Amino acid sequence: MQNGWKIKPIPFLQSGQTAPSTDTTSPQPRQRGERIASTACRATDFTAALIDISETIADQSPDTLFRASKAAYVPHMTDESVLFDRTAVRRHRDRAAATFGDHDFLHQEISDRLTDRLQDVNRTFDTVLDLGGGHGNTTVSPSPRTLITCDMSDDLLRTSLPSCAVAMDEEYLPFADNTVDLAISSLALHWVNDLPGALAQICRALKPDGLFLAAMLGGDTLIELRRALLEAEAETTGGTSPHTSPVADVADAGALLQRAGFALPVVDTDTLTVTYKDMFALMRDLRGMGETNAIAARNKTFLRRDTLFVAAARYQELYGDADGRIPATFQIIWLTGWAPAATQQQPLRPGSAGSRLADALGADEQTAGDMAGPVSN
């Protein structure tokens, strides 16, 4: 027991073990994104492990912190496919856990907006999965029967004290197919290397007509900081290295949801602008949120002192307002999708309309081959 928590490993089958036969398992392995190398253990092992996990969580008391180890069953990415250092992501979140509440304004705001969106859905959810919810800001109303909070950081989970906690990597969901009614995520998926694969796993974990709602950072996030650092580093060192993360583009988000198998996908954006007295205050907040640089190709050494001061001056020169404050932009991409179900609305067959659009508009109908004449007043 650590800090009042019972640490319980989730019973994955090890590679090479024979999985017990069961009628509830799927004969096919969970599909990952194309960038994953196919070096996993056998599909039967993998599926049985997932079934064991969901049953184990349902039967445990709320003071248990489950720890899911991906090493037993997960295929590894090739080096070329790794954008983010996931070990660094977890380390940053662990480091931020003790004082996270002093810097959680962004997570609190986005979690509140996520809760508002859920209240617009005329549905109750019995089993809810909160991915990356170790910050503890997300609430679901009415309260679900089971809320499973997952995060890479053990320390964040111990700090927020959720009713059911699973320490796991969001890239590898340890849950069986058709097990949750709602999957939510607030500002966690932008650190995922294989976003298409993660979305596909979420879709498979949802029950038919289950809802997925997530907020992730978009491409315009911290554009001011990105420019200031790049220009300062080029000026002081003669070269550049990545300091802010590459993130998904709004135009691609809808296609990612469809590729993952979601029905009725919807994508929209919010933009939040926060002002700071200087660049260093912004960087302190990013560190306090666990959102510092975790790009795999980053320069592992600290930025030079002169580079930082040039960047701060450049930031102020480019973006400072009349009061001497600087803006920081956070673009939020909202992803909404439903697990396919036969009861959902389906598009009508082309040509099956019962009335003409021209009649509804009070206009003359023209065939595709006719040329439109001039409009008379």
> Tens digits of per-residue pLDDT, 312-347?
999 999 999 999 999 999 999 999 999 999 888 777
Of residues 43 and 228, more confidently modeled? 228
pLDDT band at 156 (very low <50, low <70, confident <90, very high): confident
Taking only the tens place, the pLDDT of each residue in 90-111 is: 899 989 999 998 999 999 999 9
Share of the chain above pLDDT 70, in %: 72
Topology of 6-341 in CATH? Rossmann fold (3.40.50)
Task: Please report where in the chains the tokens 């001056």 appear, as a residue.
Answer: 313
pLDDT tops 80 at residue 5? no
Say what the pLDDT of residue 78 is: 43
Evaluate whether 1 touches 12 at the Cβ level (below 8 Å): no
Share of the chain above pLDDT 90, in %: 36
pLDDT band at 54 (very low <50, low <70, confident <90, very high): low
Q: Would you list the domain boundaries of the chain?
A: 6-341
Say what the pLDDT of residue 261 is: 93
**Range of weakest confidence among 240-254, 280-294, 362-376:** 362-376
- pTM for this prediction: 0.75
pLDDT band at 371 (very low <50, low <70, confident <90, very high): low
Residue 81 and residue 77: Cα distance in Å, rounded?
6
Say what the pLDDT of residue 308 is: 92
Of residues 203 and 374, more confidently modeled? 203
Evaluate whether 150 touches 169 at the Cβ level (below 8 Å): no
**Range of weakest confidence among 156-165, 180-189, 239-248:** 239-248
Say what the pLDDT of residue 35 is: 28
CA nearest neighbour of 86 among 285, 256, 245, 215: 245
Taking only the tens place, the pLDDT of each residue in 57-88 is: 555 555 556 666 544 334 444 455 677 788 88
What is the rounded average pLDDT for all residues in the chain? 77
Say what the pLDDT of residue 368 is: 65
Radius of gyration of the chain (CA): 24
Average pLDDT score over residue span 186-197: 90
**Range of weakest confidence among 126-130, 233-237, 353-357:** 353-357
Three-state SS letters, the chain: CECCEEEEECCCCCCCCCCCCCCCCCCCCCCCCCCECCCCCCHHHHHHHHHHHHHHHHCCCCCEEEECCHHHCCCCECHHHCCECHHHHHHHHHHHHHHHHHCCHHHHHHHHHHHHHHHCCCCCCCEEEEECCCCCCCCCCCCCCEEEEEECCHHHHHHHCCCCEEECCCCCCCCCCCCEEEEEEECCHHHCCCHHHHHHHHHHHEEEEEEEEEEEECCCCCHHHHHHHHHHHHHHHCCCCCCCCCCCCHHHHHHHHHHHCCEEEEEEEEEEEEEECCHHHHHHHHHHCCCCCCECCCCCCCCCHHHHHHHHHHHHHHHCCCCCCEEEEEEEEEEEEECCCCCCCCCCCCCCCCCCHHHHHCCCCCCCCCCCCCCCC
Say what the pLDDT of residue 262 is: 95
Evaluate whether 211 touches 126 at the Cβ level (below 8 Å): no
Residue 344 and residue 336: Cα distance in Å, rounded?
15
- What is the number of alpha carbons within 13 Å of residue 16 lying toward its C-beta? 0
CA nearest neighbour of 138 among 193, 182, 180: 182
pLDDT tops 60 at residue 6? no
- What is the number of alpha carbons within 13 Å of residue 160 lying toward its C-beta? 32
